[in-house]
Amino acid sequence: MENLLKKVLYTGVGLISTASENIQKNIDELVKKGSLSEDEGKKVVNDFIETTEAKREEFQARMTEIVTNVLEKLNLPSTEEFKTLTDRLAKLEKKTKTTAEKATSTVKKTTAAAKKAVAK
């Protein structure tokens, strides 16, 4: 899900970047034709960039909120919770293995002792 969010954000950034380039080209053409002064052109571009930056932050916050809500509704563990569970599982596996090895060793010793007792 996190990768999907990143792809959406990167796509949005790419679209904004392309739009900015197109606006800059159009403004440059208007300045060359004399329909717009250079100062007016710079102001339009700067206003667009400022507005776009503000909208990007709003978009990013909204997307984060949406993804968080979806994850909560799906009842999926967070990365931190998943790591904690994985660590706990690894410890339990190690403990189980150690316990099984001790039990096997005890059974072998007991079997050996029983064989000796029967042989006497």
Q: Where are the domains of the chain?
A: 1-76, 79-120
Number of Cβ within a 10 Å radius of residue 62: 10
| Long-range contacts of 95-100, Cβ-Cβ distance < 8 Å, separation of 24 or more | none
Q: Indicate the pLDDT class of residue 87, thresholds 50, 70 and 90.
A: very high
Best CA proximity match to 38, nearest among 26, 30, 46: 30
Q: Indicate the pLDDT class of residue 93, thresholds 50, 70 and 90.
A: very high
Residues 6+ apart with CB under 8 A from 28: 41
Q: Indicate the pLDDT class of residue 19, thresholds 50, 70 and 90.
A: confident
Measured in residues, the chain has a length of: 120
Q: Indicate the pLDDT class of residue 96, thresholds 50, 70 and 90.
A: very high
Of residues 100 and 33, more confidently modeled? 100
| Long-range contacts of 78-85, Cβ-Cβ distance < 8 Å, separation of 24 or more | none
